[in-house]
Structure 1
């Protein structure tokens, strides 16, 4: 039966034996134990360095992923396109309300020429009235009052308020840049 060799004593064991007066410890044993310990220390340090480098690489990958998510969410190009769409829609609303106000002013002038009196009974479902009693100058057509003034802001404010509702956020998310007063006739 072959006898297995005992593990070589450690450097600390050999040092302790020498200090205790053991003359059997040789310089070669001490040198070999020192080399083995140095080799083991270097391997441990190498493993720690590799683990630290891998951890740092993982951390940087996570930071890059966060950065990519933020940049993807920023989408300034989409903001520009949507701003153009909002601008064009607001311009259409402003123009439409301006045209309606002008048509109402023209109607007031033309109704007066046709001897339709201010505040009188409607003729063919239309009448005109001067401003008063909290109502602006305008015409009433089939019971619906149309102002001679243009108020496109109410429609635009209502649209933005509806967008906030649809997005599930409160109106404070757009302040202080935009202050909205609902028209109380939201669709």
Structure 2
């Protein structure tokens, strides 16, 4: 298993077990119990996403912080959390550098949201990580909500360049050495729990 895949699996599993949803098949009692908190979290995220004075990338990070705080959210909110965590960990572990980013996108299909990292599907809501070619999304036309290409250019809605978010990516490196690991995802702040190692400690999970 590659370092990238190991990191994706680690983040995906922890989000799936830590963030409560309210639309899980066969869990009516749990769904009813967590629904008010999930809907409240969605409302808070919607308020953040309306903040057009921030870049979309920053808004996604702020949503991720809200979701982690409330420990609730359905597929899109969980995707925000995974996107923010993976983006920062790729930088902290030098898997993504100032010159090259591991391509990462928030994608949607039929009212469901998940991540696509290169050709790897990261679906925290389903607790699934696997190759796109052998996943349930193989051959389907996916919509890209937000994505970052290998040269750090950001895109929205599949093809529109997001200039403000692209500029905002510089701040990810400015904050790199001042952001300790999140206890929620890296309680030991080391490589033993994730299956990968680096010269630096993992970065803070929360948005800046």
The normalised TM-score by structure 2 is 0.29
Q: Is the radius of gyration larger for structure 1 or structure 2?
A: 1
Higher strand share: 2
> Scaled by the length of structure 1, what TM-score is found?
0.31
More helix per residue: 1
